[in-house]
């Protein structure tokens, strides 16, 4: 199944958090700090301009108004463009 966001939205796959520290200690879910980082899977578009991010970009996002969904056992988020804060460049 393929999902194409409509309008000023972007579909991302959140980056999975580490299960352990560098020293090998396991971190319980209740103690994990939620990362707001993800990989762009698909982008919507606006008639007058394209998104400043493209498929494969790693982004930082904010806000709590994202839509969570699960496809083929993988978790995804649909965010509005205003919630994309930055693009991480190598």
Q: How far apart are CA 85 and CA 23, in angstroms?
A: 31
* Mean pLDDT score of the chain: 81
Q: How confident is the model at residue 34 (pLDDT cuts 50, 70, 90)?
A: low
Report CA 3 to chain centroid distance, whole Å.
Answer: 14
Q: Record the tokens describing residue 59, joined without a space.
A: 């982004």
Q: How far apart are CA 67 and CA 53, in angstroms?
A: 19
Q: Record the tokens describing residue 40, joined without a space.
A: 């762009």
pLDDT digits (tens, 9 = 90+) for 44-71: 877 656 678 889 999 999 877 778 898 8
CATH of 9-16+33-88, one of 2.30.33.40, 1.10.760.10, 3.30.360.10, 1.10.3720.10: 2.30.33.40
């Amino acid at each position: 199944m393929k999902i194409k966001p409509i309008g000023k939205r972007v579909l991302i796959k959140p980056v999975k958090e580490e299960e352990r520290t560098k020293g090998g200690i396991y971190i319980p879910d209740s103690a994990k700090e939620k990362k707001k980082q993800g990989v762009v899977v698909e982008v919507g578009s606006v008639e007058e301009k394209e998104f400043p991010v493209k498929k494969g970009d790693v982004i930082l996002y904010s806000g709590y108004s994202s839509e969570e969904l699960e496809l083929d056992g993988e978790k995804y988020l649909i965010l509005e463009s205003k919630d994309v804060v930055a693009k991480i460049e190598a």
